[in-house]
A and B are shown apart, each in its own frame.
Chain A
Amino acid sequence: MLELKNICFTRDNKKIIDNVSLIIDDKKYIVITGPNGGGKSTLAKIIMGIEKPDSGKILFDGKDITNMGIDERAKLGISFAFQQPIKFKGITVYDLICMALGKRVKFSEACKYLSDVGLCPNEYMRREVNSSLSGGELKRIEIATVVAREGKIVIFDEPEAGIDLWSFNSLIEVFERLHEKIESSIVIISHQERILNIADELILISNGKIKAKGKKEEVLPYLMENTKRCRFLKEKKDE
């Protein structure tokens, strides 16, 4: 179980996370949604230890991890898929999967993680994780490495960002399968309805605060409320 207690995070005099408290139970499928700039990605990074909160506490399975580094949290079982996958010169897909697993495994063993995200291992395993791969391919590789870690809590930061609709449609299937077979808690930051549909629970974050939490039907009305009309269009209509 992951528990956030009164987390605050301010940068450039802007409260990005404003006193957020939250519990994520084991084996839950949580989707965090809300408008851009509302603090979702920052919250995910705070959980992984990439950003450090100004105040508040983070407990993981009852242990205070607030001051722990990224690597220590990873060893406890927290995994994180980046919104923009990181590229490396010289490091192959196979190398990256082995690093994610924490050991050199047989080539054949590493292959299954690529197959799971819809990439042909023979075609991709020896390729470098660099700019020669498309956004969709990098995203799938990013997800494969995170799945390989089999963490207790797996965070995906906007898996749909930067990839085309067609690639995303097949990625959705990956998340659906993940939901069925994985024993971890899954936290996905997303705006995509199909991802929202398979969540056990939605959390709406806006202006650094949790505005609503619960089943989709309960949270959606708050989400719609948040959608402001464009002032310019409104004025045009009023003329």
Chain B
Amino acid sequence: MSKFNDVERFILKKVSDIDDVPHGAFNIRENGKGIMRNTTENINIVTKKDKPGIDIYVKANTKSETVHIPVILTQGGMTDVVYNDFYIGENADVLIVAGCGIHNNSCQTAQHDGIHSFHLEKGAKVKYVEKHYGEGEGTGKRVLNPVTIVNLGENSYLEMETVQIEGVDSAIRKTSGVLSKNASLIISEKIMTHKDQFAKTEFKVELNGENSSTKVTSRSVAKENSSQEFISRVIGNEKCFGHVECDAIIMDNASVKSIPEIYANNIDARLIHEAAIGKIAGEQVTKLMTFGLTEKEAEKEIINGFLK
């Protein structure tokens, strides 16, 4: 029998793609408290003493292991702030799946602010997946403010996938990275907002090491009366490469603002920012209608593909 009730199970599936207790190392947090934890020989999870949250230690050379740290919030009127620090040893290669799901049936706001710091030692490699989801019948807002701080040591690599598809009324997402020699940071963000929702993203990447690189891709869809802001700041202090691509589809009365900032402080810094905001191209809809799809079905396929 499952250790979770239906709501918990549904949210865990949505944010972590797990059906039950995950394999490997994990820490499940619900309404401000850790409810379940597992550690492995190579991955230790320790509760912080000075503030809410956990420290996750991955031993050097750990390969193909996973860490799941989902958060479930089902109580309205609660602001859950948590600090999770990841220490990834030399040459380790792991998958970390985080994410927060809010089920708010109350008339009060439910808020989760997750502050995640990553410290990657030489040659370490991490894939970090973070999903945010909100649901519930109540009028209370569902608010998420994730902060991600990345420190990449020499030759290390972090790939971050962040997704916010539905149900989050307000989100301010801050991601910052400091990169050493030969380090790479790949960020892919997908956001969809509707109704009166608001989503703001701020990226700041400092390319401090020779041959460090970053690629930031943001794809978002803003529907109805929702609004989005995208601010990216890439600073090239050495011979480095940075590419930021921000694409947004705007529908109905929505608004999207994109502010690119690229700073080159070295003659060998190569920095690119591309931004495009626009409605769904009419010719794309026409093309799919020639396959027999209605206008609405065509729009849905275009958005699904765009955010896939």
Question: Does chain A bind chain B?
Answer: yes
Interface residues of B in 242-287 (CB under 8 A from A): 247, 281, 283-284, 286-287
B302 within 8 A of A: yes
Interface residues of A in 60-95 (CB under 8 A from B): 69-71, 74-75, 79-80, 82, 86, 88-92, 95
- By a CB distance below 8 angstroms, the chain A residues around B286 are 50, 70, 86
Beyond A50-B286, A70-B286, whether A90 also contacts B305 by CB under 8 A is: yes
Beyond A88-B302, A90-B306, whether A74 also contacts B287 by CB under 8 A is: no
Q: Which of B15-23, B95-103, B107-115, B291-299 contacts A (4 or more CB under 8 A)?
A: B291-299
Which residue on chain A has the smallest CB distance to residue B288? A99
Min distance, Cβ A162 to any Cβ of chain B, angstroms: 15
- By a CB distance below 8 angstroms, the chain B residues around A86 are 281, 283-284, 286-287
Beyond A86-B284, A91-B301, whether A75 also contacts B292 by CB under 8 A is: yes
**Complex interface bits, A196-232 against B, C-beta within 8 A gives 1, otherwise 0:** 0000000000000000000000000000000000000
**Docked-complex contact B302 and A91, CB < 8 angstroms:** yes
B219 within 8 A of A: yes
**Docked-complex contact B305 and A70, CB < 8 angstroms:** no
Instruction: Report how far A80 CA is from B295 CA in the complex, Å.
Output: 17
- The number of residues on chain B lying at the interface, defined by a beta carbon within 8 Å of a beta carbon of chain A, is 22
- By a CB distance below 8 angstroms, the chain B residues around A88 are 284, 302, 305-306
- By a CB distance below 8 angstroms, the chain B residues around A100 are 291
Instruction: Report how far A50 CA is from B301 CA in the complex, Å.
Output: 19
- By a CB distance below 8 angstroms, the chain B residues around A149 are 291
A48 within 8 A of B: yes
Min distance, Cβ B285 to any Cβ of chain A, angstroms: 9
B305 touches which of A50, A71, A75, A89 (Cβ 8 Å): A89
Instruction: Report how far A136 CA is from B61 CA in the complex, Å.
Output: 46
A90 touches which of B290, B295, B307 (Cβ 8 Å): B307
**Docked-complex contact B305 and A91, CB < 8 angstroms:** yes
Instruction: Report how far A82 CA is from B288 CA in the complex, Å.
Output: 11
- By a CB distance below 8 angstroms, the chain B residues around A74 are 289-292
Interface residues of A (CB under 8 A from B): 48, 50, 69-71, 74-75, 79-80, 82, 86, 88-92, 95, 99-100, 102, 145, 149
List the 6 shortest-distance A-B pairs measured between CB atoms, nearest first: A91-B305, A90-B305, A74-B292, A70-B289, A86-B287, A90-B306
Interface residues of B (CB under 8 A from A): 219, 247, 281, 283-284, 286-295, 301-302, 304-308
